[in-house]
Structure 1
């Protein structure tokens, strides 16, 4: 990572945090502020620690989030009602920023996203000019997580290029999962919800219709593979913890209060 930080950047990159007000399991979670700060502020401040970018923008669908971001001095942009996904919101920012080469999509509910993760996914595109999109993954070492459909799995080739994403355990191990689950290099990878896109490709992706596999698995990244594009996957040791449920948020508040 020290080498990555020292790289002289020829490309401009921007972090965009798509921020939707409504959430199913934890209503309006990005505005929860039991720590003294709204959740979106924690994510924004974490993203600002990454080096080598030209800034952080929150792309939101609701004035309440725009106001919350403005109150803590961040930059927020209201996106149109036609944006159906986080990718669409990032693409809308990209249309107005021709000066930016790489857009990094950071989920708004990941208040502990590391600067290293952001720098790593950006670096993958900077050093692989033939690749349009990059993301991250981390090893899976428990059967519970491997079987959990909420944990998205990815299988990569030797070069780190994604072969397939699924909610099912992949690859299937004919001789039993336990035989390789705790190996030094486990074959199971959890996909992490951070992406880096080249601007031209992002604009193309946002206008492409949902693909058949994408609709079956409910995984947007499969659209990219079905388009014949490459997703380069970097591996990191530990994932950041997203906030999806009341228990997740309670644990985060407790951690912040104990610091």
Structure 2
């Protein structure tokens, strides 16, 4: 199977404009993400997809693969769909978050392995929740899976609700999972989901994967034990720099 890794990157951001180009110990964030993704043995190639001339030039400068895309896309999935039409010949696409400069290549390989099952059209990663802070944090999407390792629902709320159980005991009584925001799509499926209209569930929770579930798509999940460290705001930069220092 031939798989393409795509890193959607846009310059505009409400919380952190220009985020892909911030300096992280001598390299831009987008360069660090790109170099980590290139280490994933499951990927035949990696490309940055951007609507920004600044990002395009920065990727060119470190000799990375980059392609310009429309500035009208509402999500990384839409940007990946445009690239898949321009870069043909790939069986599947991995959408790699551009704000995780320490992404583990093995996580990418794990997600790619979901497509060894010919019935898999969409895939993502989940991780077990071990702290109450994460469990009750609305910014941490939770996910319920079925016995076939497929996502049933994603929510910012704690799901499932445990009847007659104190919130302090939730983690003692049930295994909860959070969503790790990296997606895989079979190429033929990507075009289909990109054409779907905004759904009621997605509009309510502001989670795009709910659009796919609401329209009957099946999302395969793989469980990772590795933590992701994303830069969502300027305050997160210090955490990443500290992690880079520890990594040597």
- Normalized against structure 1, the TM-score is what? 0.91
- Corresponding residue to 1:205 among 193, 198, 204: 193
**Structure 1 residue 161 corresponds to structure 2 residue 140:** no
Cα distance in structure 2, aligned partners of 1:85 and 1:237: 26
Structure 2 partner of 1:97: 87
Shift of residue 85, structure 1, vs aligned partner: 1.2
- Whole-angstrom distance in 2 between the partners of 1:42 and 1:247: 18
Displacement of 1:199 in angstroms is: 0.6
Alpha-carbon separation, structure 1, partners of 2:88 and 2:23: 35
Using the TM superposition, give the Cα deviation of residue 178 of structure 1 relative to its aligned residue in structure 2, in angstroms. 3.6
1:144 aligns with 2:164: no
RMSD (Å), alpha carbons: 1.4
Give the one of 193, 204, 214 matched to 1:226: 214
Q: Distance in 1 between matches of 2:44 and 2:168?
A: 45
Within the candidate set 169, 174, 179, 1:179 is matched to 169
Q: Is the 8 A contact 2:16 2:233 kept in 1?
A: yes
Native 8 Å contact 1:171 1:187 kept in 2: no
Give the Cα–Cα distance (whole angstroms) in 1 for the partners of residues 60 and 172 of structure 2. Answer: 46
- Distance in 1 separating the partners of 2:89 and 2:29: 29
Instruction: Note the alpha carbon deviations across 1:109-133, whole angstroms, 9 max, x for none.
Output: 001111111001110112x211210
- Counterparts of 2:214 and 2:81, CA distance in 1: 19
Q: What is the aligned partner in structure 2 of residue 111 from structure 1? A: 101
Tell me how far 1:239 sits from its aligned partner.
2.1
Which sections of structure 1, spanning at least 5 residues, go unmatched? 1-10
TM-score (norm 2): 0.95
Is the 1:141–1:182 contact (alpha carbons within 8 Å) kept by the matching residues of 2?
A: no
2:119 corresponding residue in structure 1: 130
Are 1:196 and 2:180 matched, yes or no? no
Report the CA distance between 1:230 and its aligned residue.
0.5
Structure 2: which 5+ runs fail to align? none
1:243 to 231, 238, 245: 231
CA drift of 1:94 comes to 0.7
**Equivalent position of 1:4 in the other structure:** none
Please say if residues 59 and 79 of structure 1, whose CA atoms lie closer than 8 Å, have aligned partners that are also in contact: yes
Aligned to 2:28: 38
Partners in 1 of 2:84 and 2:192 — Cα distance?
11
Q: 1:34 Cα deviation (Å)?
A: 4.1
Within 2, Cα distance between the matches of 1:52 and 1:140?
27
The whole-number CA distance in structure 2 between the counterparts of 1:245 and 1:222 is 25
| Inter-partner Cα distance in structure 1 for 2:171 and 2:92 | 35
Aligned pair in 2 of structure 1 residues 256, 239: CA closer, same or farther (>3 Å)? closer
State the shift of 1:60 in Å.
0.5
Q: Is the Cα–Cα contact under 8 Å of residues 42 and 108 in structure 2 kept in the other structure?
A: no
| C-alpha separation in 2, matches of 1:52 and 1:12 | 8
